[in-house]
Amino acid sequence: MTILNPNLLSKGMTEAMNAAVPVMRAVNKRLLTPEILLLTFIRLPDCTAGRLLQRSADSRGFKLADLEREAEAGARSIAGRPADFDFVTSGGDKVALSMEMVVVLDEGKGIAQAADEVWIGTEHALGAMSQVGVSTSGLLQRYGITPTAMTGILADQALAKHTTTQDWVALAKQGQLTPVYYRQSLLRDLVSLLTLSGDRDVILVGPTGAGKRALVYSLALLVAEGKGPDGVKSVVEISERALLDNAPQAVQAGLRQAAGGVLFVPNIQRFLGGYKAEFAQAEKSLQKAFLEESTIVIGTTTEADYNERMASISTVTDHAHVLHVPPATLDETVAILGTHKPRFESDYKLDVQSDALQVAASLAGRYLTAKPLPGAAMQLLHRACALVRMSEQTGLPFRPDVPADARLDADDVRLAVSLMTGVAVSKLGADERIKYAQMVEHLKARIAGQDEAVLVVSRAVKTARVGLKDPKRPIGSFLFLGPTGVGKTELAKALADFMFGSEDALLALDMTEYQQEDSLNRLIGAAPGYVGFEGGGQLTDRVRATPYTVVLFDECEKAHARILDVLLQIMEEGRLTDGQGRVASFAEAVVILTSNLGAQFLSDLSLGDSAHELAMQAVKGHFRPEFLNRLDEIVMFNALSPEALRLVLDLMLKKEAKLAEGRGLKLEVSEAARVWLLAQNDHPEWGARPLRRIIERHVRQPLADALLAADVKPGTVVKVDVGAKGLTVTMA
């Protein structure tokens, strides 16, 4: 048996065929016949054929129940002749078709193609059932449903819902098009281009999510109100499924349907560019449309796709106008969200508070920069609504200690942003102005002995945060110079915690692992066709997923020259394209490079200010001027003085106390013990790193031994002091 090609059927026809199977079994038949399908159409009032039958009954004055009774009698009495075709249901069952059913589908295909349709719809099958020679024709014709009548019905656009194309203007007139916010200046520019006497095709260029489709929606609504450009009566879009099934036929159908109006082609670059095009077979048909005056083509694409695939095609560039669609402003985004508020409330059954819209627009523009406004804000609001709705349905609170209810407010939106970005909710709700005013004090509480470095970094970050920087470049690009163990990495961690809520926002890359040219692939991913290209890049994948990141390139002087070229691009353009052509934006990232160049000068406290000059000479001798000029600041870290080492020790012991507190213990380290710990540092030139090992050996390990030896109760005080043989650890 041959399996019926499922791509022949529209979605509605597939659903009707599935619904016909239980009807077939109810009338005790083993073949699916036209009579059974007709009976199914009558009992499916929401399918197109069902609506057509009801309208025919209303206009011709017969009762649909009478037709149903006769159709059921025919379904029970007519067995049909078996054909060599099976229909496979959505459940995977095979159902045999009668020969008459195959004829109906074949005739329906011809009717569909004549109507510029890619698939057989229920209306086309109904039209085939009325044809002479089909077993259902006599019954239908007795009720006035003749081939001539069906031809007229199918020609009526208001009755037959096309499956290959959609006319947005017709949908708008029927009240089926969702209202959108009019971006007046852009809509005015688009209408003016469509009012020209010739060459009225338009390519809308802008980032994904900027509102290109919404602009065309606005045009359709304007035309439906009778206020559109002269001669534009329709705005037709081709179904994505039709394009995937048969792109050339779908484009031809779309062009015929859009005659005298607009053919809207989202992501038009998919049709252009030869072998690179996803729908290359339809390229010639679409290019011809740019040469014809009967149909206007409006396409959308991004700047990169336009430059790569379209800028060199004269058919397009000579006859189409480019209209740039920038991201929406914050005020526009709030207004756009307000327009969509009723739909959000209906879809999610929530009361969306006005403050949630304002916060969604603000936080999306600030934290979800991978997509522009208004798209990022729409995505955020969907996510927040879904989380609250889930909480309400399951009873599991979305916000801790807050009962689930059917309301979405600003706090819900903040928590959704936190889940999407990893930025702590407390950071999202904090006053940014107050927060950054206290930045120096916050960092000094973690970084000892490097006050000048903290001041330099804080100034640069605060300048960027008040908007006094190129918005495309990173928040800050710094080169940290200094000997090992003086706080370079610790300052990077402190920045990640302060700015983005967690030290986990730090991405540390050891450049000693990137000394070979081919190691670049590990950062940005290999190009298609090379081994491992599917894996992406360690750097680009992370920044694209979490753009709020401090990226640390440790010991950058050891990286290959090609790696340094990549760093130069990040600092200059704020973006990086990976091996698969995807762009990672560094506009919300902080870029830190560390180097030991000149460390021997900075570690010599006796050199004073001249140490900085000598270190800079070493740096200039290694890096190209254009590389150094892209840095916001070169930050010098001096060797730690004995006083600074004591401060570092105190900070480390505070962390130990917090660890002990997690076990319910109170850790007390005497002054004598602190002096003793410092005295164990035989290599002060290595900075604070030896102190970490000293604390591990003389405090943490003895404490662990004590906890294993006895059942220590919560609330126990652990005292660390100096005894005759070194440190002592006692518990009370």
Give the single-character DSSP code of 387: H
Whether residue 97 has pLDDT greater than 70: yes
pLDDT tens digits, residue range 645-662?
888 888 888 888 888 888
Q: At what angle do helices 64-77 and 48-60 cross, to 10 degrees?
A: 120
Residue count of the chain: 732
Query: How many CA within 13 A on the CB side of residue 537?
Result: 26
45-59, 219-233, 273-287: which has the minimum mean pLDDT? 273-287
Q: Are 456 and 632 in contact (CB under 8 A)?
A: no
Whether residue 328 has pLDDT greater than 80: yes
Question: Scanning the structure block, which residue is given the tokens 């077993």?
Answer: 135
Residue 730 sits at φ, ψ, to 5 deg, of -125, 155
Question: Scanning the structure block, which residue is given the tokens 């126990």?
Answer: 716
pLDDT tens digits, residue range 287-313?
888 988 889 999 999 988 888 888 888
Q: Round to whole Å and give the CA distance between 14 and 101.
A: 14
Residues 6+ apart with CB under 8 A from 78: 33, 35, 135
Q: Round to whole Å and give the CA distance between 539 and 508.
A: 10
pLDDT tens digits, residue range 519-557?
888 888 876 555 554 556 889 888 888 888 999 999 999
pLDDT at residue 160, rounded to an integer: 43
Question: Is the bond into 374 cis (omega within 30 degrees of 0)?
Answer: yes
Calculate what percentage of the chain has a pLDDT beyond 90: 43
pLDDT band at 424 (very low <50, low <70, confident <90, very high): low
pLDDT at residue 590, rounded to an integer: 93
Give the rounded distance of the alpha carbon of 437 from its chain centre: 33
Q: Round to whole Å and give the CA distance between 408 and 352.
A: 5
Q: Are 213 and 166 in contact (CB under 8 A)?
A: no
Residue 446 sits at φ, ψ, to 5 deg, of -110, -25
What mean pLDDT, rounded, does the chain reach?
Answer: 87
Structure tokens at 602: 């900075």
pLDDT tens digits, residue range 199-248?
899 999 998 899 999 999 999 999 999 999 988 999 999 988 888 878 88
pLDDT at residue 591, rounded to an integer: 95
Mean pLDDT computed over 564-593: 88
113-117, 252-256, 435-439, 583-587: which has the minimum mean pLDDT? 113-117
Q: Are 692 and 653 in contact (CB under 8 A)?
A: no
Task: Count other C-beta atoms under 10 Å from residue 445's C-beta.
Answer: 11
Q: Round to whole Å and give the CA distance between 519 and 539.
A: 12
Residue 673 sits at φ, ψ, to 5 deg, of -65, -40
C-alpha dihedral (339, 345, 348, 352), degrees to nearest 10:
100
Task: Report which listed range, 322-331, 386-395, 462-471, is most confident.
Answer: 322-331
Q: Round to whole Å and give the CA distance between 684 and 642.
A: 8
Residues 6+ apart with CB under 8 A from 113: none
Pairing of strands 666-669, 633-636: unpaired
pLDDT at residue 21, rounded to an integer: 96
Residue 434 sits at φ, ψ, to 5 deg, of -65, -40
pLDDT tens digits, residue range 471-517?
788 999 999 998 888 889 999 999 998 888 788 889 999 999 999 98
What distance, in Å, lies between the first and last C-alpha atoms of the chain? Answer: 86
Give the burial string for 322-351 (b: 16+ CB within 10 Å, else e): bbebebbebebbbbbbeebbeebeeebebe
pLDDT at residue 530, rounded to an integer: 54
Q: Are 551 and 590 in contact (CB under 8 A)?
A: yes
pLDDT at residue 156, rounded to an integer: 57
Whether residue 159 has pLDDT greater than 50: no
C-alpha dihedral (430, 435, 436, 437), degrees to nearest 10:
140
Q: Round to whole Å and give the CA distance between 24 and 9.
A: 19
Structure tokens at 183: 């971006």
